């Protein structure tokens, strides 16, 4: 009788396994993204957002901030990515899954660059 009870008890305990939710990467808030402006230095960006998770091995002018959250209890996976592009030491553009300030969007920076080149002529 005790062996049967022990066996049933062990079986019941083994089926109650808790799985942890896994959170990885840079946790970025929209208010931090809103602080980004063109011509910020790399040190200023690190002060606002922290160090990027991934560095581009071939270019120091591209930083990638990546965030992943796997919620085991609900089965919902959240993935967000932010890519910052620099020219030298200055922030030029940003793109990704966040609301990017208009001054850092790809088209805005290209228009600014074209206007700068026209003013030099």
d(CA 86, CA 99): 19
pLDDT in tens, 32-83: 999 999 999 999 999 999 998 877 778 888 999 998 988 877 878 889 999 9
Dihedral in degrees, nearest 10, Cα atoms 52, 57, 59, 61:
0
pTM: 0.69
pLDDT for 112 beyond 60: no
At residue 21, the pLDDT reads: 76
d(CA 37, CA 94): 10
Reading the block at residue 60, the tokens are 């120091």
Confidence of residue 109 (pLDDT cuts 50, 70, 90): very low
Structural domain spans, the chain: 19-120
């Amino acid at each position: 009788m005790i062996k049967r009870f022990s066996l049933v008890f062990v079986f019941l305990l083994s089926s109650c396994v808790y799985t942890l939710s896994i959170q990885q990467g840079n946790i970025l808030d929209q208010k931090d993204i809103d602080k980004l402006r063109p011509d910020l230095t790399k040190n200023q960006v690190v002060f606002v957002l922290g160090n990027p998770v991934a560095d581009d091995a071939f270019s120091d002018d591209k930083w990638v901030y990546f965030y992943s959250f796997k919620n085991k209890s609900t089965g919902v996976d959240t993935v967000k990515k932010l890519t910052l592009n620099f020219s030298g030491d200055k922030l030029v553009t940003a793109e990704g899954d966040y609301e990017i300030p208009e001054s850092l969007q790809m088209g805005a920076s290209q228009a600014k660059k074209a206007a700068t080149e026209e003013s030099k002529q």
